Amino acid sequence: MVFFTLGYAVIWILILGYTALIRSQQSKLEKQIVILEERLREQERAAES
């Protein structure tokens, strides 16, 4: 039972850990995109004026 439980736990720890990692990375990237787009718009406005 110990080996079976360990095997089951290993699979789900790896999969759920990876999912959580890429989800948090994705939300960071989305925030970064918003900031960069804003900066780009500011740069364009500054160039126009």
Partner 1 sequence: MLEGWKKFNFWVLMLLVPINIYLIFLYAPVEKTMGIVQKVFYFHVASAWIGLLAFVVVFIASIAYLANRKVQMNHLALASAEIGTLFISCTLLTGPLWAYPIWNTWWTWDPRLTTTLVLWFMYVAYIALQGGGTAENRRRFAAVYGIVAFINVPLVFFSARWWRSIHPIVVSGEGIGLTPKMRFVMFFSIVTFSFLYTYLLGLRYKGISLAERINRLKAELSQ
The footprint of partner 1 (CB under 8 A) covers 1, 3-4, 6-8, 10-11, 14-15, 18-19, 22-23, 25-26, 29-30, 32-33, 36-37, 39-40, 43
Least Cβ distance, residue 24 to partner 1 (angstroms): 10
Least Cβ distance, residue 45 to partner 1 (angstroms): 13
* Single-letter residue type at 8: Y
Would you say 4 or 49 has its CB closer to partner 1? 4
State the Cα–Cα distance between residues 19 and 44, nearest whole angstrom: 37
